[in-house]
A and B are shown apart, each in its own frame.
Chain A
Amino acid sequence: MALFIVAALAMTVVGLLLGCVIGLFAKIFRVETDQRIELVTELLPNANCGGCGKAGCADFAKSVVEGENPPGKCPVSSREAISAIARALGIEAGGEFKQVAVVTCSGDHSKMKTEVRYNGVTDCVSASLIAGGPKGCAYGCLGMSSCSRACPFGAIEIRNGLAVVHSDLCVGCGKCVATCPRGLIKLVPADAPYHVFCNSPEKGPAKKKVCDSPCIGCRKCLKAMPEKMTVTGFLAKVNYSAPAPTAEEIAAAACPTGCLRAALPVKKEQEVSEVVNG
């Protein structure tokens, strides 16, 4: 009987004692935190993508509260969310225009030849290190999901051997840009409808040999809309600082290889999430 009483007493005493100790320590080592930081963190997307340059959303919230960054520096938040944050803190929203990523390559399996079989690690950097990669074009998309694995929003799908960005899911955080060993991914204004889907600086005929849809540098687009395009060497680029080309101008340019075109409307498939998570 004594054993029971002692055991029960001992546990009670230990429990109470530990409770008091924790309470005491919590009191002594109290850390004052700014309530506003939590508030702002809640309003942010909390995807912790790092697109703002800070280590996650909580860190960004701290910098916003401290006045280091304007709320608009978050490339992911919607306009409403940003203005909600600005209102909560009573400061200017400050904003940057929304950008989305675009993979500037057309070379999926139907358009670009695969010259060698690659059996190594399924990773673009690894593949690109071996003799210029398995595909014919040494500048094209390798289609091994390095970018789609990096995307925190599941916005990049590998479709038939070519990375395609879902512009409705892309928030322009820019994480994928650094992962592409070929530097194919560009951040462009979200409202720009047309892009040149080629990034190879090689000469036209050389490109044409390996790909059905390269930019051959024919300058037809430059003639149709001189101030909206630039051509360097054998590669045309859309001048994004000029007003976007209209559908008529694109029709007039009549890109012979179909390389200057609108981003394909892509539908999200079941498979995408598996590629991202796998």
Chain B
Amino acid sequence: MRYLELTVGAVLVYNFVLSRFLGICPFLGVSKRLETAMGMSGAVIFVMTLASALTALIYNYLLVIPLPGGVTVHLEFLQIILFILVIAALVQVVEIMLQKLSPPLYKALGIYLPLITTNCAVLGVAALNAKSGNSVLDATIFGAFSGVGFALALLLFSSLRERLELADIPRPFQGTSIALITAGILAMAFIGFSGLC
């Protein structure tokens, strides 16, 4: 049951974009074409999985520091600033490594990686993991499926937008305004999944 919530729940019920309203910037920014949306989705899944594993590790094991005098210091209040720092550094390192080790993968994900270093969806998944006290394994699963949820929303939305480009839209609604309206309707459709798990 727990894993159902971490997987199906993260993709459909508590979808990051459409239910939690996190990561709206890339959702609107790179959804004009399906091709770029695919690249972005891949990068987000990749980074979210890695980031949740690493931040869960830090949150669970490194934020309680015992001092020599028998006092323990709780640094949980530093989580947000620490997570941003760690995620940004992680993405940077991964980017450098990809460039050397796998040029084709770098070419596919390369330009999107720096865009999501401080994406609120990535930070959000780390913060949610910390809040619900997930173990490292649970956090990694939740991160990966949250990424899949983001990818699903982005791919659906970009396909819709490609169609919208051809549609005969009244002038005041053209461009971003119809995109936002579409996003709202899509989010309403996703409410239908609530209660699934």
Interface residues in chain A, defined as those with a beta carbon under 8 Å from any beta carbon in chain B: 2-3, 6-7, 10-11, 14-15, 18, 21-22, 25-26, 29-31, 121-123, 126, 149, 277-278
Find chain A residues with CB under 8 A from B101 CB.
29
Asked if A7 and B78 sit within 8 Å, CB to CB, the answer is yes
Prevailing SS type, chain B contact patch: helix
In contact, B92 and A22 (Cβ under 8 angstroms): yes
In the complex, chain B residues whose CB is within 8 Å of the CB of A3: 73
Q: Are B78 and A10 in contact (CB under 8 A)?
A: yes
Q: Cα distance A29–B96 when bound, in Å?
A: 6
Is B30 in the interface zone, CB < 8 Å from A? no
Q: B81 in the interface, Cβ–Cβ < 8 Å?
A: yes
CB of A148 to closest CB in B, whole Å: 13
Q: A14–B65 Cα gap in the complex (Å)?
A: 14
Q: In the bound complex, do residue A11 and residue B81 qualify as a contact, i.e. CB atoms below 8 Å apart?
A: yes
Say whether, besides A6-B65, A11-B78, A15-B85, A22 and B96 are in contact (CB < 8 Å): yes
Would you call B166 an interface residue if the criterion is a C-beta within 8 Å of the partner chain's C-beta atoms? yes
Contact of A11 among B82, B89, B165, B168 (CB under 8 A): B82
Chain A residues near B92 (CB-CB < 8 A): 22
**Contacting pair B96 A26 (CB below 8 A):** yes
Evaluate contact between A122 and B168: CB separation under 8 angstroms: yes
CA distance A149 to B167 in the complex (A): 13
User: Chain A residues near B156 (CB, 8 Å)?
Assistant: none
Alpha-carbon gap, A75 to B71, bound state (A): 72
Give chain B residues whose Cβ lies under 8 Å from the Cβ of A26: 96
What are 15 A-B contacts with C-beta separation under 8 Å?
A3-B73, A6-B67, A7-B73, A11-B78, A11-B81, A21-B89, A22-B92, A25-B93, A29-B97, A29-B99, A31-B100, A121-B166, A121-B167, A277-B175, A278-B175
Given contacts A29-B96, A30-B100, A31-B99, contact A123 B67 (CB under 8 A): no
B60 lies within 8 A of chain A by Cβ? no
